Amino acid sequence: MVTKDGEKPFIPSMRECRSIPLHYSDNVVDIGAYMGQYSIRCARFPVSKVTAYEPTPSSYQICTKLKLPNFKPIHAAIVGNDREEATLHVSSGIGVTNSTILSFSNKKAITVPAVKYSDAIKDATIVKIDVEGGEYNFHIEDNFPDSLRALIIDFHPVSQYRWLEEAKEIVLAIEREGFTPVISPDWSNAWARAGSWMRERDLPDVTNPMLEGIVCCGCGEIIDSVGKSLCINCWKRWSKRHRRGYNLAP
């Protein structure tokens, strides 16, 4: 993807995302999925389930084009309360817009569906958060379901908040819950305020139909193959690079 001015946009948190090893049983919740970069990586691993929350309409529409059987995009903003709708402030300085639930006068305001943070992550094993400052309203520090084994958070500077103090308090709460930093945020670096954390959890010895060649990893169609496989239609649709590691189902 390139911007309207021909520049490649910065995709935050990818270093931190790669720092968390995936497991076939993982239930990944991607909050602020953007165009689904992290979600695609997880779904193609394949993990058991990926739920991607993206409130910006144009980015969500891109996510809906990702036809993977274990991937579910949801058009909603995540909030820290019981509201069913949220006001989203959208800017369009790049080819695909970005947005925040925080109020800025120079951004267009739209209303989108809302989902409470604690409800969104209640069964998650990995949660990734990249929401342009909205993370300070989620009450992250109060919500650590027992299933959760890893967190990836991109902290954003927000002028009207004491954002740095709040971010550090969230980090302390995460580590009090037994999470160990894999990559710690560098508060002095504008491009390295993201962090990743893990805690010990027993991982089940699961059977994944996508690993056994029973289900096409691209569309979910029933197939009769061995290992990670694609049906002929998905094989033709996927690029040569993305087909690496997959078999063509007979």
Question: Cβ-count burial of 4 within 10 angstroms (0-12 exposed, 13-18 middle, 19+ buried)?
Answer: exposed
**pLDDT computed for residue 222 by the predictor:** 95
CB 176 within 8 A of CB 169: no
Asked if residues 94 and 9 have their Cβ atoms less than 8 Å apart, the reply is: yes
CATH number of 14-198: 3.40.50.150
Which run of H or of E encompasses 127? strand 126-129
Listed residue (222, 204, 232, 152) closest to 47, CA to CA: 204
> Which residue ranges make up each domain of the chain?
14-198, 207-250
Q: Let me know if 60 is exposed, middle or buried by CB neighbors in 10 A (0-12, 13-18, 19+).
A: buried
Mean pLDDT by 10 residues, the chain (250 residues): 35 73 95 92 93 94 91 96 88 50 62 96 97 90 97 88 91 98 90 90 86 93 95 94 93
Closest C-alpha among 117, 192, 183, 118 to residue 150 = 183
Predicted TM-score (pTM) of this structure: 0.86
